[in-house]
Amino acid sequence: MENSSSPEDKKNVCALEHNIKTKGEFSYYYAHGRKFEGKNEEQGQIVEGPGIITGGNPVLLESKVKNVEIIKEPKKFTKYIFYDDDKNVVIKIDIPESILNLINIECININFQERALDLKVDVPNEEPYFLSFKKLFQKIVPEECKFKIFKGKICITLRKMNESEEWDKLNA
């Protein structure tokens, strides 16, 4: 291996070529310096054809316009309180100020089930409001449950199946 090169040669040779010349086949960059027979050292061969990526500017393959359906979050009642009143559990739901004068008792639909409660309030010319309890704390008697509108609140009275059980929460 030949390590001596003149200062003039070092100026005309890049660092990669210098490393290959000085260290030969033991050079870290040896693979980069390979020369191919019959090919010009300065130009590489360009191979093109189907399935061969040659670079260049990106090419648009396909363009689709998707119609995205906007899903609105249903309006929900967010302010309510409840209390255990021996035989019943009473839920008082605040009616939002914006719909207070728009609804009446006919707008309210409640589905009472033994362990569930679904409330839907149809607001004229607006989206309906919902409140749902999918698993009540204890069983209720659906036939004996009732509701009314009183002082800006929807008051729901749930008749407890087991009157001796005290409810400390609404959901199980």
Read off the pLDDT of residues 64-102 as tens digits, 9 standing for 90 and up: 888 888 888 889 999 999 999 889 999 999 999 988 888
Residue 134, classed as helix, strand or coil, is coil
Say if 61 falls within a structural domain: no
Residue 21: count of CB within 10 angstroms of its CB? 17
Residues 109-145: pLDDT tens digits?
Answer: 999 999 999 999 999 989 999 999 999 999 999 999 9
b/e burial code for range 108-120 (CB count within 10 A of at least 16 → b):
bebebeeeebebe
Looking at the structure of the chain, the number of domains it has is 2
Say if 58 falls within a structural domain: no
What stretch of H or E contains 120? strand 116-121
> Residue 82: which CATH number?
2.60.40.790
Say if 67 falls within a structural domain: no
Which residue in the block uniquely carries the two structure tokens 């409640």?
A: 110
Check whether residue 81 and residue 144 sit in a common domain.
yes
Check whether residue 79 and residue 28 sit in a common domain.
no
Say if 169 falls within a structural domain: no
Say if 56 falls within a structural domain: no
pTM over 0.85: no
Distance, C-alpha 89 to centroid of its chain: 37
Instruction: Domain of residue 144: give its range.
Output: 75-159
Average pLDDT over residues 147-154: 92
